[in-house]
């Protein structure tokens, strides 16, 4: 069997198109422009690239982009004051503080200072609690992107057996909550799971988010399963630096029914869902109907 490739790059372009269409309608019908504020503290190279990409795509979708670049030595008080200003700015509907923060800043304190309604990363403890209890929340972008791709490929997920590899607050736990919301039977597996291969082997859906290069081989996969590979790992192969996922693509693709590649799978969906969350936040703030196909 040769798996269908789930093209995250193409799907993300479709999501961005839907975002742009909805932004256009908001402007025309209500005179509202969704705004996304991104805060970058320090000069981490990877974060700088990511923030530039977010800003570019925000503008391309017709939204307002507000970038705040702060020195690495910025005090906690100054950062919290900026967040308070953004919380109270009606032109800003989404706020994202780029992680990781410099070591002297308390990430949890900073994230939880963001207005939950503007927390488009979905990391605020209020949004975590709302998601966990099945209520309306802002949903973390990467799990939301995974869910969108699963829905698009499989249709109804009801009754399917899903295994989430990884228990992080950013991906693993919210992914499990979303799958529960779709009426899947969900197992969260991790480094201490006994007989991990057997646990994964029973799953109709596997979401790998452990951060270990090519950890999952083909013989762990149930024939025909759908595999979503969240991992992005840089390794050296044949004298070159290459990006690989958490699953061994070559062997898994021979067994799975569908699989996301790395790169070009889940990665592009993360920013697309950030834009979608910003539009959703804007609609909620103004008492308007949420955009179809852009929320959980």
Within 8 A by CB and 6+ apart from 29, the residues are none
The position carrying tokens 């906690």 is 76
* Distance from C-alpha of 261 to C-alpha of 258, rounded to nearest angstrom: 10
Measured between alpha carbons, how far is residue 38 from residues 58, 94, 173, 223, 233 in Å? 11, 8, 24, 42, 25
Is 54 a catalytic site residue?
Answer: yes
d(CA 14, CA 30): 24
Catalytic residue of the set 57, 98, 115, 119: 98
User: Of the listed 54, 118, 173, 222, which one is catalytic?
Assistant: 54
Active site residue 229: no
Catalytic residue chosen out of the listed positions 121, 204, 229, 246: 121
* Closest C-alpha among 215, 208, 250 to residue 231: 208
| Rounded distance between C-alpha atoms, residue 187 and residue 52, angstroms | 36
Active site (annotated) includes residue 89:
no
Burial of 195 (0-12, 13-18, 19+ CB in 10 A): exposed
Residue with tokens 């693509």: 249
Supply the residues annotated as catalytic: 54, 98, 121
């Amino acid at each position: 069997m040769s798996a269908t490739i789930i093209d995250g790059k193409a799907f993300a372009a479709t999501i961005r198109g839907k975002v742009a269409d909805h932004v256009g309608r908001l402007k025309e019908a209500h005179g509202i422009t969704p705004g996304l504020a991104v805060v970058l503290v320090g000069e981490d190279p990877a974060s700088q690239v990511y923030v530039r990409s977010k800003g570019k795509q925000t503008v391309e979708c017709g939204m307002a982009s507000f970038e705040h670049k702060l020195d690495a030595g910025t005090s906690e008080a100054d950062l919290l004051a900026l967040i308070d200003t953004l919380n109270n700015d009606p032109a800003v509907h989404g706020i994202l503080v780029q992680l990781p923060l410099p070591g002297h800043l308390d990430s949890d304190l900073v994230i939880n200072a963001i207005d939950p309604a503007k927390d488009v990363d979905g990391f605020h403890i209020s949004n975590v609690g709302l998601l966990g209890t099945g209520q309306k929340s802002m949903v973390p972008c990467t799990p939301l992107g995974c869910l969108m791709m699963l829905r698009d490929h499989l249709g109804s997920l009801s009754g399917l057996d899903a295994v989430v590899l990884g228990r992080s607050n950013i991906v693993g736990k919210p992914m499990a909550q979303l799958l529960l919301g779709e009426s899947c039977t969900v197992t969260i597996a991790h480094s201490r799971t006994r007989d991990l291969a057997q646990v994964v082997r029973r799953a109709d859906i596997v979401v790998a988010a452990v951060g270990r290069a090519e950890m999952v081989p083909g013989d762990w996969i149930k024939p025909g399963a759908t595999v979503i590979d969240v991992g992005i790992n840089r390794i050296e192969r044949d004298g070159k630096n290459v990006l690989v996922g958490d699953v061994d693509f070559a062997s898994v693709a021979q067994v799975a029914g569908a699989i996301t590649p790395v790169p070009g799978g889940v990665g592009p969906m993360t920013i697309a869902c950030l834009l979608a969350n910003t539009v959703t936040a804007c609609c909620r703030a103004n008492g308007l109907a949420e955009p179809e196909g852009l929320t959980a």
